[in-house]
């Protein structure tokens, strides 16, 4: 069974919550973060993307960036924007997007559970992204990014959380500029804290990383690097656990810089050996598994995988695997999506228009839209000990950074 516990969150005073809360560091590049935080000295992006406070040519992975993050975090505390909870608490975090609600338990989870496989992975991490979070945690002394965990829902846990939220008012309750409502309840009474801890220890045998593989891996490696200097807090990392019946996965699409030396006609001819190819008169969003959209030279195509081009095992049947084995590798020469700089990933929340823009601008040569992975597929793969190709799942809505931070030093 998994081990969770309450913690003393570093969090904003109520009047600053909305201005502090920021989108996760890894969904924005440096320029986007700078624009988003402009005119808002309270934005947590000054901590998670601290290069926005430095000259434009600053290397975002430089020591100066991590030192600035630590300085900014201290300044937020000194200015009275953030304060440390006096007692270990659990937190209930509800997000509402387009009328759909999901509520998770914010807690700290055991690094031992992660290393022993009770917190299951479905993706490999990228070394450069992992090193960035290791440095950020070590030099800031804080886990600022929340790891989004899923678990198979348990009625007794659902009922306890629902009853608590009915009786109490949220500590934070605001709607962000993107229309997503964020509400957080504090669970600080001993009775409910114990009930939550006991229920998870008794009813939830494992959890699954839905979003945050790099954050989880980095927390474990920070503890290892600290060695004997690691305190109690480094044995745990910041997580939010959501029941699987409340989760929604969006598509996670691809853009590629070139056609691997092929002409457009040759490229399309090679694709037709693996997929049924037809021109599409409008933007094509895949409506079922094993169908894909291709955007090339201002034209959309619908691709349908030939039945002999994939297997029925948990990995082979995934659309991201079909795409890798039948198009990205044999035709475009992309062997490893984690490390190849010719490919990039676009989360479904940005819309298919974002794919068109990146191709039409000349930055990319083509875009591919995919059908979303299901939560059951994620569980099946993680349970089998396998991993998906990178950037297979995009969960929405996203937790905001800055509302609840875990201090480790």
Segments making up each domain of the chain, as ranges: 4-248+397-407, 252-371
Mean pLDDT value across the chain: 95
pLDDT at 339 over 90: no
What is the separation, in whole angstroms, between the first and last Cα of the chain? 27
In sequence order, the β-bridge partners of residue 110 are 236
**Binning pLDDT at 50, 70 and 90, where does residue 80 land?**
very high
Convert the pLDDT of each residue in 227-279 to its tens digit. 888 888 999 999 999 999 999 889 999 999 999 999 999 999 999 999 999 99
Report residue 60 as tokens.
């975002």
What is the dihedral angle through the alpha carbons of 97, 101, 104, 106, rounded to the nearest 10 degrees?
A: 50
* pLDDT at residue number 338: 81
* pLDDT at residue number 129: 87
Query: How many other CB atoms sit within 10 Å of the CB of residue 310?
Result: 21
pLDDT at 325 over 80: yes
Averaged pLDDT, 320-341: 94
What is the number of H-type helices and E-type strands within the chain? 13, 21
CA pair distance 409, 407, nearest whole angstrom: 6
In CATH terms, is domain 252-371 a member of 3.30.1760?
yes
Averaged pLDDT, 14-19: 98
Contact 393, 348 (CB under 8 A): no
Averaged pLDDT, 313-319: 89
Contact 69, 139 (CB under 8 A): yes
pLDDT at 390 over 80: no
**E strand spans, 98-203:** 100-110, 119-120, 142-143, 147-151, 172-175, 181-187
CA pair distance 91, 326, nearest whole angstrom: 45
**Binning pLDDT at 50, 70 and 90, where does residue 173 land?**
very high
In sequence order, the β-bridge partners of residue 289 are none
């Amino acid at each position: 069974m998994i081990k969770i516990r309450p913690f003393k969150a570093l969090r904003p005073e109520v009047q600053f919550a909305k201005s502090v809360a920021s989108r996760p560091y890894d969904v924005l590049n440096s320029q986007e973060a700078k624009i988003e935080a402009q005119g808002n000295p309270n934005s947590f992006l000054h901590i998670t993307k601290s290069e926005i406070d430095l000259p434009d040519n600053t290397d975002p992975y430089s020591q100066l960036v991590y030192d600035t993050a630590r300085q900014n975090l201290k300044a937020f505390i000194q200015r009275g924007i953030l304060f440390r909870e006096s007692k270990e608490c659990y937190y209930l975090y509800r997000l509402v997007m387009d009328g759909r609600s999901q509520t998770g338990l914010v807690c700290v989870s055991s690094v031992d559970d992660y290393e022993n496989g009770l917190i299951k992975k479905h993706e490999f991490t990228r070394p450069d992204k992992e090193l960035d979070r290791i440095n950020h945690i070590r030099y800031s002394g804080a886990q600022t990014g929340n790891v989004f965990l899923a678990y198979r829902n348990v009625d007794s846990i659902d009922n306890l959380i629902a009853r608590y939220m009915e009786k109490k008012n949220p500590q934070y309750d605001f709607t962000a500029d993107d229309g997503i409502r964020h509400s957080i309840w504090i669970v600080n009474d001993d009775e409910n804290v114990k009930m939550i801890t006991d229920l998870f220890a008794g009813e939830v045998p494992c959890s699954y990383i839905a979003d945050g593989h790099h954050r989880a891996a980095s927390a474990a490696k920070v503890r290892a690097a600290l060695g004997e200097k690691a305190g109690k807090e480094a044995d745990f990392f910041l997580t939010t656990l959501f029941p699987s019946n409340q989760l929604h996965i969006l598509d996670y699409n691809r853009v590629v810089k070139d056609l691997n030396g092929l002409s457009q006609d040759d490229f399309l001819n090679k694709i037709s050996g693996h997929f049924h190819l037809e021109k599409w008169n409008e933007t094509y969003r895949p409506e079922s598994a094993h169908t894909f959209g291709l955007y090339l030279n201002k034209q959309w195509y619908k691709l349908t995988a030939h039945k002999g081009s994939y297997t029925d095992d948990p990995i082979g049947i995934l659309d991201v695997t079909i795409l890798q084995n039948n198009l990205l590798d044999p035709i475009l020469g992309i062997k490893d999506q984690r490390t190849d700089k010719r490919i990039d990933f676009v989360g479904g929340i940005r819309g298919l228009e974002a794919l068109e823009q990146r191709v039409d601008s000349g930055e990319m040569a083509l875009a591919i839209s995919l059908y979303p992975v299901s939560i059951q597929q994620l569980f099946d793969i993680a349970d089998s000990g396998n991993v998906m190709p990178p950037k297979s799942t995009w969960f929405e809505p996203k937790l905001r950074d800055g509302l609840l931070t875990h201090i480790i030093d």
